[in-house]
Amino acid sequence: MRKQTNDDAPDLPPPPAGEGRGGGKPRWLVTPKIRKHARALRAEQTDAEKVLWRELRGHRLNGAGFRRQTPIGSYIVDFISHRAKLIVEIDGGQHFENARLLQDLRRSRYLESKGFRVLRFANNEVLQNRAGVLVTINAALEAAPSLPSPASGGGNEHRETL
């Protein structure tokens, strides 16, 4: 019986997508606390978020893919299209108080420094003028730079660690 050497080892295929090459646990880029908070926000959407999510999910708006309640740094954004580099925020009444306006301005500047465009809408605007909100989001999607598809071998140079 012959001993197997490295030269005789069968070529193993790479692990399926999502399982990583290092094996074991996934490496998260956000803290467990923020991940848990994002998960809770997805479970407890406002009425305005529910209405908008029905329009954005499943590539329903101009074929753009959106995720909801996604952590970016220490922030959790309401809706994000990574491909279009577009973030959509839905703001309740507390966002229109002076102190909160300054916090939102800092938040928007941070997200813009990461290359994203930020659109903000009030809850009432989404609930009472859904069509207008969708027109605005669609216009922002059409204005977004087109990135090569990773499926075609391109796009990796545009990936950013969040």
CA distances from residue 66 to 4, 57, 88, 99, 119 in whole angstroms, order as listed? 49, 6, 10, 29, 14
Spans of all domains in the chain: 47-142
CATH number of 47-142: 3.40.960.10
pLDDT on residue 62: 85
Task: Check if the beta carbon of residue 89 is closer than 8 Å to that of residue 78.
Answer: yes
pLDDT on residue 51: 93
Give the residues of the chain that fall short of pLDDT 50: 1-4, 6, 9, 155-162
**pLDDT tens digits for 46-93?**
899 999 999 999 998 988 999 998 888 888 899 999 999 999 999 886
pLDDT on residue 127: 95
